[in-house]
């Protein structure tokens, strides 16, 4: 993971061990660096881990800003069973994406502020399948999003459901709504099967591993 230095008109001196070169950068020039914090005055800017070039700032830091180059992923979910099966799937996806260097967050849908969606590069939405579709909370959340919030962003869906032809599909409705909003669907949605009745509903064996594999595929696409 790298950090990008967003420069808005300043001078940089590069030194590659033998030669120095002075460069004038125009407004909004983006320079990839290996800087991981704001200690710009105490260290050179490293262009890459395997490159010897260094860049030394000779300007005011007020003209600079840093931003993370890692992919930002929000996983919004509803989970209604006592065993929190859909939440477990969301957390499994999140944990894998984090190991891939992504800034991944999972959040109960009631805690998600729709306007914050603009802060993420990818939105993954998950829901239990109730009455053949996503829960009311998830539908309300999706209806609160705007095409502007989806511009240039990617999306995916997952659901939990019992096995059977009449079970319905929350993920299909979620995917359709994400497409309508303008999200690019990066993978076919995940289905995690559950078994049991009422308070005893649990994920079937192997379903969390399937969720982790789904996350691995997402990571490949997003990288």
The DSSP line for 73-140 is EEEEE---STT-HHHHHHHHHHHHHHHTT-EEEEEEGGG--GGGGGG-SEEEEEEE-BTBB--HHHHH
Cα–Cα distances (Å) from 152 to 182, 191, 212, in that order, read: 8, 26, 25
Q: Which domains does the chain have, with CATH numbers?
A: 3-68 (2.30.30), 72-222 (3.40.50.360)
Mean pLDDT of 82-92: 97
The tokens of 27 are what? Answer: 């407004």
Cα–Cα distances (Å) from 75 to 17, 87, 165, 207, in that order, read: 46, 10, 27, 18
How far is the first Cα of the chain from the last one, in angstroms, to the nearest whole number?
11
Say whether 194 sits in a helix, a strand or coil. strand
Asked whether the predicted pLDDT for residue 223 surpasses 90, the reply is no
pLDDT level of residue 55 (50, 70, 90 thresholds): very low
Per the model's pLDDT, the better-predicted residue between 26 and 158 turns out to be: 158
Strand partners, 124: 75, 156
pLDDT level of residue 126 (50, 70, 90 thresholds): very high
Asked whether the predicted pLDDT for residue 191 surpasses 80, the reply is yes
pLDDT at 199: 81
pLDDT at 115: 75
pLDDT at 216: 98
Taking alpha carbons only, the member of 100, 77, 80, 103 closest to residue 90 is: 77
Query: Tens of pLDDT along 30-39?
Result: 444 443 333 3
Distance CA 31, CA 33 (A): 6
Given a contact cutoff of 8 angstroms between Cβ atoms, the answer to whether 121 and 153 are in contact is yes
pLDDT at 59: 36
Distance CA 152, CA 166 (A): 35
Point out the least confidently predicted range of 43-57, 123-137, 138-152, 167-181: 43-57
């Amino acid at each position: 993971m790298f950090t990008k230095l967003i420069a808005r008109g300043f001078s940089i001196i590069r030194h590659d061990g033998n030669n120095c070169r002075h460069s004038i950068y125009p407004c909004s020039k983006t320079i990839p660096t290996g800087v991981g914090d704001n200690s710009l005055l105490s260290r050179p800017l490293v262009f890459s881990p395997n490159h010897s070039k260094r860049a030394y700032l000779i300007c005011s830091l007020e003209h600079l800003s840093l931003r993370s180059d890692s992919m930002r992923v929000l996983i919004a979910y509803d989970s209604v069973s006592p065993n929190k099966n859909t939440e477990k799937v969301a957390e499994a996806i999140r944990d894998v994406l984090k190991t891939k260097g992504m800034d991944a967050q999972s959040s109960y849908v009631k805690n998600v502020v729709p306007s914050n969606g603009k802060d993420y590069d990818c939105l993954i939405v998950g829901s239990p399948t109730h009455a053949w579709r996503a829960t009311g909370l998830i539908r309300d959340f999706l209806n609160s999003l705007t095409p502007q919030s989806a511009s240039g962003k990617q999306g995916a869906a997952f659901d939990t459901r019992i096995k059977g032809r009449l079970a319905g599909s929350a993920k299909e409705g979620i995917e359709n709504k994400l497409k309508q909003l303008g999200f690019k669907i990066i993978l076919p949605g995940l289905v995690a099967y559950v078994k049991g009745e009422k308070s005893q509903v649990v994920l079937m064996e192997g379903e969390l591993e399937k969720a982790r594999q789904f996350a691995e595929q997402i990571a490949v696409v997003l990288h």
